[in-house]
Structure 1
């Protein structure tokens, strides 16, 4: 009887978010470094309405979420491209 032992391997991704802000706008830059050495970058923006109070953290959350959402879409596209290259067929990304 042959027994196959599966080992779990921990893989880590390093994601960085940087913000630039002024009184009305917040910009976020997101970067993920993948284990193969490649990088994926994305950007997000938020604007404060002139009647809203100045809450930089809220602008960061919105701009950061938009940058991470764009990063997620790019990663899905990258993964499906790799599936297509390996399989010789066209896969359909599911956007969530």
Structure 2
């Protein structure tokens, strides 16, 4: 059964005196989630705003990604399916 949807994602970046803040919002049509990230420039480092943008945006997207995975996990558990993820696998094979 084919399934196609479009989610809208917006990324906002704010920089002020060596601190870059990022906010990324995904709108699924049914709900919206917001991820946040921050990057701080060491005063001794060269001022390259693009680096702060990349770090803050990446951290915000990582935060948003974890929220999406957590929401999916909650939804899976709501169906009565067994839990998945770290610590839920049987302890077999080589130790990590």
Instruction: State the shift of 1:19 in Å.
Output: 1.0
Instruction: Give unpaired runs (5+ residues) of structure 2.
Output: 87-96
Instruction: Find runs of 4+ consecutive structure 1 residues off by over 4 angstroms.
Output: none
CA distance in 2, matches of 1:90, 1:68: 28
Match of 1:25 in 2: 19
* Whole-Å separation in 2 of the counterparts to 1:75 and 1:90: 18
Instruction: Return 5+ residue gaps in structure 1 as ranges.
Output: 1-5
RMSD: 1.5
Of 58, 76, 92, 2:84 maps to: 92
TM-score of the superposed pair, with normalisation by structure 1:
0.81
Matched residue pairs, number? 86
Q: TM-score, normalised by structure 2?
A: 0.81
Post-superposition Cα deviations, 1:11-37, rounded to whole Å, max 9, x if no partner, equal 2211111011112100001100114x2
Alignment equivalent of 1:79, drawn from 68, 72, 76? 72
Please, which of 40, 59, 65 is the counterpart of residue 66 of structure 1? Answer: 59
